[in-house]
Structure 1
């Protein structure tokens, strides 16, 4: 359904980091997890959709990195996987149904190892051709995300705080954009 390519912001922000352990929350069809595994990361990738995870596992096998990714079919509303990770990703962690996003983000921050990175990227606005917000979908800017994280990331270094326009195409081929936000934080060592 998607391109299978990693998120461009992920590539830009994480490409220079030394590989370690990563937690990819809401991994979908696995483009980011596969990209990380191909660069030597050991990835735990979580999504609620078994169909998306089956596609992701197939993509990892095709890329020869299936041993580098552990796929977990879980609802993040029930909790974030235990462990300590050098990198925790919450890229486009939006849901059309109710989800305790702020709780999930705070629990995700608790999984970041000392000296590790938390990268949160999301939609900050509707597509340029659809000016209304959809009900139950939280469209936040980086300051809103920081507020959602609250005390969980107090004292962490802000390495990126950005809003940007991402080009996108409608199904009819018309090109537009969507405003996105990104927040990259580093936990003190």
Structure 2
């Protein structure tokens, strides 16, 4: 997948990627989101880097009131159309936002950052912003690619965009900040490559609750 890394800004980069194909993602929710959020009491959720809306729509179907945020207007337009098709439009607010210019407030019962990887946004900055948006008593869910568990067809093995559970814990200072860590691990899962080939990838998964 071409990320247009030579683009002048994040909007141009991600809009360019989405314009290459009429559909980039499957439309299904990310499996780690389903695994970690199923059973949580619904409230106000923030889906960071929502893309074409699969996660936001699933959250709305589970009873969450969702703010879905992405830098790409192209992705958000598609996501809103998909939400309307599934009858979830009223439960989701779509918001275009460059996270490098975002000043989060701690108001969300759930903040989900699924594979929020970009050559224009250091991952430590994005996860810090995600954590800052969690309300007291709320849940932070961060899922990313493990740098040593990428599928064979990935072109980003040495990119520095990915993180281990230990690196994530250190960046968020989970040993000192007001968090109760529910899950901090890596998980393998089967994925399908661009030419239909089967492989495995390794996800770094964090679910933590902010002390009330």
TM-score, length of structure 1 as denominator length: 0.91
2:135 is matched with which residue: 102, 106, 113?
Answer: 113
Alignment correspondent of 1:157: 180
Aligned length: 188
Correspondence 1:34 to 2:57: yes
User: Unmatched 5+ residue regions in structure 1?
Assistant: none
Alignment correspondent of 2:125: 103
Q: What's the offset of the Cα at 1:108?
A: 1.9
1:84 is matched with which residue: 107, 124, 138?
Answer: 107
RMSD: 2.0
2-structure distance, mates of 1:48, 1:146? 26
Matches within 5 A, 1:41-60: 41-60=64-83
Alignment correspondent of 1:184: 207
- Could you report, residue by residue, the CA deviation over 1:59-96 in whole angstroms, capped at 9, with x for unpaired residues? 1101101011110111111114445000001110101x
Other structure's SS at 2:173 match: helix
Relative to structure 1, the CA distance from residue 81 to residue 66 in structure 2 (aligned partners, 3 Å threshold; closer, same or farther) is farther
User: Unmatched 5+ residue regions in structure 2?
Assistant: 1-23
TM-score, length of structure 2 as denominator length: 0.82
Alignment correspondent of 1:67: 90
Relative to structure 1, the CA distance from residue 80 to residue 119 in structure 2 (aligned partners, 3 Å threshold; closer, same or farther) is farther
Q: What's the offset of the Cα at 1:149?
A: 1.5
Q: What's the offset of the Cα at 1:100?
A: 3.4
Other structure's SS at 1:163 match: strand
Alignment correspondent of 2:165: 142
After TM superposition, the structure 1 stretch with the greater mean CA deviation from structure 2, 74-83 or 173-182, is 74-83
Relative to structure 1, the CA distance from residue 80 to residue 153 in structure 2 (aligned partners, 3 Å threshold; closer, same or farther) is farther
